[in-house]
Amino acid sequence: MSTIALQTLSGGSDAAKRLAARLGLSCGEIAVHRFPDGELRVAVAPATDTTILYAPLDQPNDKLIALLFAAEALRRNGAKRLVLVAPYLCYMRQDAAFHAGEAISQRAMGALLATTVDRIVTVDAHLHRTTDIRSVFPGIEAENLSAMPAIANALVTEGIDPATIVIGPDMESEPWVNDIASRLRLQHTVAKKTRPGDRSVAISFADPGLLAGRPALLVDDIVSSGTTLMAAAKALIAMGATAVDAVVTHALFPPAMIGAFAEAGIRSIRSTDSVPHPTNAIALDEILAAALRSELTTTHLPETTP
């Protein structure tokens, strides 16, 4: 029988260890050394027949090189199957060339990873016109999981006011908003976003009266600059929302911005642990483990020493 284990880049080690424990796997850490000229030296733990590579791909460039080198070492040392678990998957946003000469990063990243690993598991990938993530990674298995079950379970456990309105800050957020509102049996609406200028965002709602006197929960997949989220919060407060909280899958914004969110009227902001961040409050190990259990059916766990 074949063996299976999990290895992780250092940035995601806490979440990786929780996932490994849920699956009953050992968890090794991939060592990355940076030379003075910026080049990397990568060393992996002993290879197993199936190796799950855990890597949140925020701040991705060095991590991608480290993954490429780790895959080379693992294949050379006997790994027959590599499964990349990237709770946040980078370079998915640009799926077209909007100006002459632009690279289509989604296409380039898909081609690179498809020749590196055999399967990719991610969460709430930021796809615009791409309807099926499998089309991004030709010839390999790929799954785009939803964080909404984990987020809904966390909100139910903590308790949520039944008068809460679930809010999407723009039309792109509608799938997540509709999903979580259905799970929580709450009303929801999605804002209309316009950009009066390069650095400004205007938010409006079709039914402003819906928010008066009720708490609001902003839901989005990615928060990076935070501009849209803050504009939405200010609009909600102006329309009479009694409180504004936010929950996101991927917190990519600098931690120093948490204060700016509070100034904009956001009472709390919580994120999943797809990317290590001070706002992490919702673990994804349960949904990831459910997707990965198929990898255990034809393998056995390596023996561990006491």
What residues are annotated to the active site?
A: 193
Q: Could you give the CA distance from residue 94 to residue 102 in angstroms, rounded to a whole number?
A: 10
71 CA to centre of own chain? 22
In this structure, what are the phi and psi dihedrals at residue 248, rounded to the nearest 5 degrees? -135, 155
225 CA to centre of own chain? 16
* DSSP three-state, residue 300: strand
User: How many Cβ atoms from other residues are within 10 Å of residue 101's Cβ?
Assistant: 5
Place of tokens 């316009």: 194
In this structure, the chain runs to a length of 306
Closest by CA to 281, choosing from 185, 175, 155, 160, is 155
Radius of gyration of the chain from Cα atoms?
21
Closest by CA to 117, choosing from 77, 80, 76, 92, is 80
Q: Could you give the CA distance from residue 293 to residue 289 in angstroms, rounded to a whole number?
A: 6
DSSP secondary structure string, 175-219?
HHHHHHHHHHT-EEEE-EEEEEETTEEEEE-S-GGGGTTS-EEEE
Q: Could you give the CA distance from residue 27 to residue 54 in angstroms, rounded to a whole number?
A: 10
